[in-house]
Chains A and B, each alone.
Chain A
Amino acid sequence: MTETTANHTVRQTVRPLGRPGLAYDEVAVGDRLPELSIPLTRTLIVATAIASRDYQDVHHDPELAVERGSRDIFMNILTSNGLVERFVTRWAGPAAVVAAIRIRLGAPNYPGDTMVLTGEVTAKDDAEGRVEVSVRGENALGAHVTGTVVVRLPKGENA
């Protein structure tokens, strides 16, 4: 999969190499996450459905998916959760502990499309060391997923 970093004028926090991840103090409200572009292959949609033990036919059988009113098979919600987690922890680093993932689904992720994930730090909770990130995954039809992820980050050396 390709991972692209867009040229934002807004400050982006990018994790320094050789470190276990971002420290709480290194993150500011308004920081943008590096964009993540995910090609939605048929294999990805089926493999992730099975990895999440979701055997609903609409996630692997095109004929039955159409019969049930869909255009094709589509990604299951457990995978949307998993990809949103991957998107945020790859930015935050391995020390980050995921405290919440809250998502709403919109346009389905159909095979052949691409989902581009973007995110921005929207809040910080100093007492808990928690950082809230708003995320959005867009495909050609619109927003597939919108929501927030909360991660707990370690205090930095200066703390």
Chain B
Amino acid sequence: MSAAYEDRLRAFVGREIHPLRPGQDPVNVPMIRHWVEAMEDDNPIHLDEEAARATGRDGVVAPASMAQAWVMRGYAATTAAEGGGGPADELTDLLAEGGYTSVVATDSEFEFHRELVPGDHVAVREVVESISPEKATALGTGRFITSLRTYHDQDGEVVAVQRWRLLRFRPKAKPQEPEERSEADAAERPEERASRPQPAINRDNAFWFEAAREHRLLIQRCAACRTLRHPPGPCCPECGSFEWDTVRASGDAHVYSFVVNHHPRHPAFDYPLIVAVVELAEGTRLITNLVGVSPEEVEIDMPVVLDWVDADPELSLPVFRPVAQEGH
């Protein structure tokens, strides 16, 4: 991607891509009925006035998760060949220009301020919060677009807030026609990746993971005696000082020790999985994975160099690969 393209994308961050726009219809019982029937949700507060009043409500309420449905643009607009030409379409077009033509929603974080009742008329506005660098995902290479959607009622009061994340990606090559596809092919096709076990992040180690997200490998350093340490901790094991800063690792390292994990398997990883203790040129060691090398080729003291794996939008981790041999 060119720097100019990156700049054009970055121009959308912080921008309102959907000005406040009301849904086509107010909250209504027929649409609620359609929803709860399809979801097989038998909570009586959605259709039975008496049951709803028995819970202290004034009458039936819409399912909370329907908030987004009230502002969906509908069939006609979805199938129309061209968008309305607003900023949201401009962003979609710009991403398509980069080859990111497919889309899948990955995250939705809803906070509901009140229940919606028939007659409410919901409107939504949407502001882009961030656009990720290009990431390799199981679906294909793409970018995560994070936005904040604010839902208002007819009086302008906020009724719900939703952090919303889409992956816009370049689809992988089209699979063969189904009739030609053998069972073996099906088995070999990579499935969408399960997410990695998440690290336990706390106030002592958050700086390290935050830097990792930006592909910077940090080493904690005692501000009093200058001793480097890893993993991160609140206090220097040498002199006991609580004051610290960090240095950025050069990325040069060697294999201190390693094991090969065959079993049990976790769906987030490729196997055989090499789990290594790597000693950085700066002297600290960290537990990591080796990539770009088979278990048979790994040797103690082998020189390796830093690389990064973007496991998911929130988690990037350092891995190490063999130093490219000269003459190869």
Residues on A close to B: CB < 8 A?
1, 20-21, 44, 47-48, 50-56, 58, 66-69, 71, 76-79, 81-86, 89-90, 94-95, 97-108, 141-143, 146, 154
Stretch from B99-107, B285-293, B302-310 that touches the partner: B99-107
By a CB distance below 8 angstroms, the chain B residues around A66 are: 174-175
Interface status of B56 (Cβ within 8 A of chain A): yes
- Decide yes or no: A99 and B111 within 8 Å by CB, A68-B171, A82-B65 being known contacts: yes
Residue B39 is within 8 A (CB to CB) of chain A in the complex: yes
| B43 at the A interface (CB under 8 A) | yes
- With A20-B54, A52-B69, A69-B174 known as contacts, the answer to whether A85 contacts B192 (CB < 8 A) is no
Which residues of B lie under 8 Å from residue A83 when comparing CB positions?
Answer: 39
Q: Is A108's CB under 8 angstroms from B192's CB?
A: yes
Given A53-B69, A54-B72, A90-B43, the answer on whether A81 and B38 have CB atoms closer than 8 Å is: no
25 A-B pairs (CB sep. < 8 Å): A20-B54, A21-B55, A50-B38, A51-B38, A52-B72, A53-B73, A55-B74, A56-B103, A69-B174, A82-B39, A85-B63, A86-B41, A89-B41, A94-B44, A95-B55, A99-B111, A100-B109, A101-B65, A101-B109, A101-B112, A104-B195, A107-B191, A107-B194, A108-B192, A146-B195
Q: Is the CB of A105 within 8 A of B107?
A: yes
> How many angstroms from the CA of A97 to the CA of B63 in the assembled complex?
10
Rounded to whole angstroms, the CA-CA distance of A97 and B52 in the bound complex is 12
Nearest Cβ on chain A to B140's Cβ, whole angstroms: 6
Q: Of residues 52 to 107 in B, which have CB atoms within 8 Å of A's CB atoms?
A: 52, 54-56, 63-66, 68-69, 72-75, 78-79, 101-107
Interface centre among A50, A77, A95 (most CB of B within 10 A): A77
* CB-based contact A81/B68 at 8 Å: yes
Which single member of B39, B102, B175 contacts A51 (CB below 8 Å)? B39
Task: Tell me if B132 is interfacial: C-beta within 8 Å of chain A.
Answer: no
B40 contacts the other chain (CB 8 A): yes
Given that A48-B38, A51-B39, A99-B112 are known contacts, is A84 also in contact with B192, CB under 8 Å in the complex?
A: no
A residues in contact with B105, CB < 8 Å:
76-77, 105
Q: A21-B55, A71-B189, A81-B65 are in contact. List 14 more A-B contacts (CB 8 A).
A: A44-B38, A55-B78, A69-B102, A69-B140, A69-B171, A71-B175, A85-B63, A90-B42, A101-B65, A101-B109, A106-B193, A141-B191, A143-B194, A146-B195
Task: Give bound CA distance, A47 to B35, whole Å.
Answer: 9
* B residues in contact with A68, CB < 8 Å: 101-102, 171
Q: Which residues of A contact B194 (CB under 8 A)?
A: 106-107, 141-143
Closest to B313 in A: A104
Interface assignment of B283: CB less than 8 Å from any CB of chain A: no
B267 within 8 A of A: yes
Contact call A94/B174, Cβ cutoff below 8 A: no
Pair A78/B65 contact, Cβ less than 8 Å = yes
Contact B68 A52 (CB under 8 A): yes
The reply to whether the CB of B326 lies closer than 8 angstroms to some CB of chain A is: no
CA distance A81 to B112 in the complex (A): 13
B244 within 8 A of A: no
The 5 A-B pairs at the shortest CB distance, nearest first, are namely A69-B171, A53-B72, A98-B64, A51-B38, A81-B65
B280 → chain A, closest Cβ, in Å? 32
Residues of B within 8 A of A106 (CB): 192-195
Complex: A108 Cα to B31 Cα, angstroms: 26
